[in-house]
């Protein structure tokens, strides 16, 4: 066996807290061979990012790192800070999760790449510019010569991540640590970035340590995988073996909780996720949501030709110079007990559609009929009453609950505002609602910060249920949650639908979850629905090229299906900003089968 390029021996990191030193990762040992890709996978709090920062020595003074980090046999933990600085960016490079914030906003991207070349003395001063250009070309940033003078905010997320990669490659490191590099990116962009990393790795013979929570990404790229759970390394093995023959119960549980695109091919109804015990690894299959939907009844939500546009830019007098066509001529119906998923990538208008329907933003035109209310023309009183029928659950469970209100107050507030009960009765109601979402009524007097992300999302659901809504707009409501928690919250939503006949407008970018929970799916692109139909038809027989691309880009958590390479084209989502007075084209629709429509042309 060759000498590993990186070798962790009993790596333990502790943080100083008020109660003394607290170990966040314990006794982590594994090797990375030259040219190999090793994935560290785990949920939030597993210590995977702390592991990477410990290797790089990037933790601050409140952290204590012990054990050994051997790079080519040299212990990095024994180096001085000055010696370590010539390792960082030179021998080991790193890219991060948030391309939007990982670049310094006040310097041009060219300068930020150049800085690293100069720091590590990689090229002569007069060669720096040419080398930056070469690197930007290498990561396929179009028109690199002009773009090197631009600032990070002028780049899209995918392009910024390319800049980060160019920077990481600058010193030709032998190890690249990629900490969730594609998590914040859209799925088609994620595919392009993964391909790019793989390609460069093969070309330069660089080893990659890839940190991720996404089993699909792991299956796609990793030769070997390290599974971490609450600060411990629970299992290490060849990726293929791990997926077929995991030893540790946690690994099995984690894999079982991951939805796989295509799992639902033979299913007629939305299917609950199997319940998994993360400690023992026991998996119990769950029932489908098989309530028939009466489509001959009046839809509980009916959207016709909805248009929402925002002003963009401003001239000398502050008037907008263009318009964002966020939602363009969108129509659909939603029946009681049904889940319609709106899918698409960031900026496609799916969230604005959800907000427009509840008039949280003001649409320009169209009709929305929600439980008998004409939403867009309703006066203040009717609008308030309408809010009982249509409610929303948001993405970020950390910022969507008021930190100064107890959980009880949060759940009671809407009940009191809408005068559905007196104070004492509302309190009983709230306790009951918390029980319904799987929490304990005794938690009422605690504050949001005492709860985990999943619990907070349950609280947000309880708050919404207090009004007995008919339609719930769930805007990326499970996207920020860990795999296992995501499955639980989805199951809760499906339980509630089963019991209460709720209709969901489920807004999501996660195709595998969408496949699991939906009755119907609508695909949005640049503000328009390009395809809508029953879930099984959309996934088995996608018609629109964008739908196909979207589905093809989803990484499948199955190493055996790796190598279904995507096209190498660099594609950015086009912008929905149009000049003033722009007339959107008339669209033709083609019916594929019963209830399955696709935009023609």
Binding site for another protein (CB under 8 A): 56, 58, 81, 85-90, 93-94, 96, 98, 101-108, 115-116, 119-120, 151, 153-154, 164, 167, 316
Alpha-carbon span 164 to 566, nearest angstrom: 22
Closest CB to another protein among 114 and 226? 114
Q: Which is nearer to another protein, 96 or 597 (CB)?
A: 96
Output the smallest distance, CB 232 to another protein, in A.
Answer: 25
CB of 69 to another protein, least distance (A): 15
Q: In terms of Cα–Cα distance, which of 408, 323, 394 is closest to 358? A: 394
Rounded to whole angstroms, the Cα distance separating 92 from 6 reads 10
Q: Please, what is the minimum distance in Å from the beta carbon of residue 184 to another protein?
A: 11
CB of 587 vs another protein, minimal distance in Å: 33
Q: Which is nearer to another protein, 320 or 534 (CB)?
A: 320
Question: Any alpha helices (H) in 185-248, and if so which ranges?
Answer: 187-204, 215-221, 239-244
Compute the least distance from the CB of residue 177 to another protein, in Å.
Answer: 9
Cα separation, 367 vs 330, in Å, equals 10
Q: Enumerate the β-bridge partners of residue 115.
A: none
Question: Of 181 and 542, which CB lies nearer to another protein in the complex structure?
Answer: 181
Q: Which is nearer to another protein, 297 or 316 (CB)?
A: 316
Choose between 55 and 276: whose C-beta lies nearer to another protein. 55
Which token pair is 554?
């989803």
Q: How far is the CB of 44 from another protein (least distance, A)?
A: 17
**What is the C-alpha separation between 562 and 559, in angstroms, rounded?**
5
Which is closer to another protein, CB of 93 or CB of 490? 93
Q: 504 exposed, middle or buried (CB, 10 Å; 0-12, 13-18, 19+)?
A: buried
| Phi, psi (rounded to 5 degrees) for 272 | -65, 150
CB of 77 to another protein, least distance (A): 17
CA dihedral 124, 71, 223, 217 (to 10 degrees): -70
> Would you say 106 or 297 has its CB closer to another protein?
106
Residue 436 to residues 224, 271, 493, 494, 533, Cα–Cα distance (Å)? 42, 20, 11, 13, 32
Q: Per the structure block, which two tokens stand in for 240?
A: 């293929």
Give per-residue burial for 399-427: e unless 16+ CB within 10 Å, then b. Answer: ebbeeeebbbbbbbbbbbeeeebeeeebb
Give the integer Cα–Cα distance in Å for 62 and 53.
Answer: 13
Nearest CB to another protein, comparing residues 48 and 596: 48
Q: State the minimum distance, in angstroms, from the CB of residue 400 to another protein.
A: 23
CB of 293 to another protein, least distance (A): 45
Question: Least distance from C-beta 71 to another protein, angstroms?
Answer: 14
Min CB(323)–another protein separation in Å: 17
Which contiguous run of DSSP H or E holds residue 460? helix 453-465
Shortest distance in whole angstroms from residue 59 CB to another protein:
10
**Up-side HSE of residue 212: CA atoms within 13 Å toward CB?**
25
Four-CA torsion 442, 448, 453, 454, nearest 10 degrees: 30
In contact, 554 and 261? CB cutoff 8 Å:
yes
CB-wise, 40 or 87, nearer to another protein? Answer: 87
Beta carbon of residue 85, minimum distance to another protein (angstroms, whole number) = 5
- Closest distance of CB 188 from another protein, Å: 24
Name, in order, each residue with C-beta under 8 angstroms of 91's C-beta and a sequence gap of 6 or more: 71, 173, 174, 175
Gap between the Cα atoms of 452 and 488, Å rounded: 13
Burial class (CB in 10 A: 0-12, 13-18, 19+), 577: middle
Which residue number, 118 or 560, has a Cβ lying nearer to another protein?
A: 118
CB of 364 within 8 A of CB of 309? yes
If the CB atoms of residues 164 and 221 are measured against another protein, the closer one turns out to be 164
For another protein, the closer CB: 168 or 507: 168
Asked whether 291 and 498 are in contact (CB, 8 A), the reply is: yes
Is residue 301 a contact partner of residue 376, using CB atoms and an 8 Å limit? Answer: no
Angle between helices 423-436 and 407-417 (to 10 degrees): 120
Scored b (16 or more CB within 10 A) or e, 82-96 reads eebeebbbbbbbbbb
d(CA 94, CA 92): 7
Instruction: Tell me whether residue 146 or residue 380 sits nearer to another protein (CB atom).
Output: 146
């Amino acid at each position: 066996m060759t000498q590993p390029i990186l070798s962790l021996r009993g790596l333990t990191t502790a943080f100083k807290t008020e109660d003394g030193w607290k170990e966040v990762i314990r006794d982590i040992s594994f090797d990375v061979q030259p040219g190999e890709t090793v994935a560290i996978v785990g949920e939030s709090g597993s210590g995977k990012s702390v592991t990477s920062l410990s290797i790089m020595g990037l933790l601050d003074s409140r952290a204590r790192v012990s054990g050994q980090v051997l790079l080519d046999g040299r212990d990095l933990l024994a180096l001085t800070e000055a010696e370590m600085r010539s390792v960082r960016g030179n021998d080991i490079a790193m890219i991060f999760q948030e391309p939007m914030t990982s670049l310094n906003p006040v310097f041009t991207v060219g300068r930020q790449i150049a800085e690293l070349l100069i720091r590590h003395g990689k090229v002569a001063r007069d060669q720096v510019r040419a080398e930056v250009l070469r690197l930007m070309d290498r990561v396929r940033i179009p028109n690199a010569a002009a773009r090197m003078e631009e600032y990070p905010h002028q780049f899209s997320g995918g392009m910024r991540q390319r800049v980060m990669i160019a920077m990481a490659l600058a010193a030709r490191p032998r190890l690249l640590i990629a900490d969730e590099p594609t998590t914040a990116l859209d799925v088609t962009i994620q595919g392009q970035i993964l391909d790019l990393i793989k390609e460069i790795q093969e070309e330069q013979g660089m080893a990659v340590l890839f940190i991720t929570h996404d089993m699909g990404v792991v299956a796609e790229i990793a030769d070997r995988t390290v599974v971490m759970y609450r600060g411990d390394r629970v299992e290490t093995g060849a990726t293929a073996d791990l997926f077929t023959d995991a030893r540790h119960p946690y690994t099995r549980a984690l894999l079982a909780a991951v939805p796989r695109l295509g799992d639902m091919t033979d299913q007629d109804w939305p299917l609950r996720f199997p319940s998994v015990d993360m400690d023992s690894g026991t998996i119990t299959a769950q029932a489908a949501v098989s309530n028939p939907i009466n489509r001959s009844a009046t839809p509980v939500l009916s959207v016709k030709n909805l248009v929402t546009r925002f002003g963009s830019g401003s001239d000398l007098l502050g008037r907008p110079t263009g318009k964002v066509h966020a939602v363009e001529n969108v129509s659909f119906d939603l029946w009681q007990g049904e889940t319609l998923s709106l899918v698409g990538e960031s900026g496609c208008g799916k969230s604005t559609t959800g907000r427009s329907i509840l008039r949280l933003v003001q649409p320009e035109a169209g009709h929305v009929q929600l439980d008998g209310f004409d939403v867009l023309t309703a006066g203040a009183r009717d609008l308030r009453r309408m809010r009982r029928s249509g409610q929303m659950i948001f993405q970020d469970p950390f910022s969507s609950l008021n930190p100064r209100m107890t959980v009880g107050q949060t759940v009671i507030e809407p009940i009191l505002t809408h005068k559905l009960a007196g104070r004492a009765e509302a309190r009983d109601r709230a306790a009951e609602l918390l029980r319904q979402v799987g929490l304990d009524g005794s938690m009422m007097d605690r504050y949001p910060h005492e709860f985990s992300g999943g619990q907070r999302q349950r609280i947000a659901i309880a708050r919404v249920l207090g009004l007995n809504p008919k339609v719930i707009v769930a805007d990326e409501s499970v996207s920020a949650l860990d795999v296992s928690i995501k499955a639980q919250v989805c199951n809760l939503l499906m339980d509630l639908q089963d019991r209460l006949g709720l209709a969901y407008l489920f807004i999501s970018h996660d195709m595998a979850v969408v496949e699991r929970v939906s009755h119907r799916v609508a695909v949005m692109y640049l503000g328009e629905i390009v395809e809508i139909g029953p879930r099984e038809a959309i996934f088995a027989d996608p018609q629109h090229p964008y739908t196909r691309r979207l589905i093809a880009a989803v990484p499948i958590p199955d190493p055996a299906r790796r190598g279904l390479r995507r096209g190498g084209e660099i594609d950015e989502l086009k912008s929905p900003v149009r000049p003033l007075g722009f007339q959107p084209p008339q669209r033709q629709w083609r019916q594929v089968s019963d209830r399955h429509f696709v935009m023609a042309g």
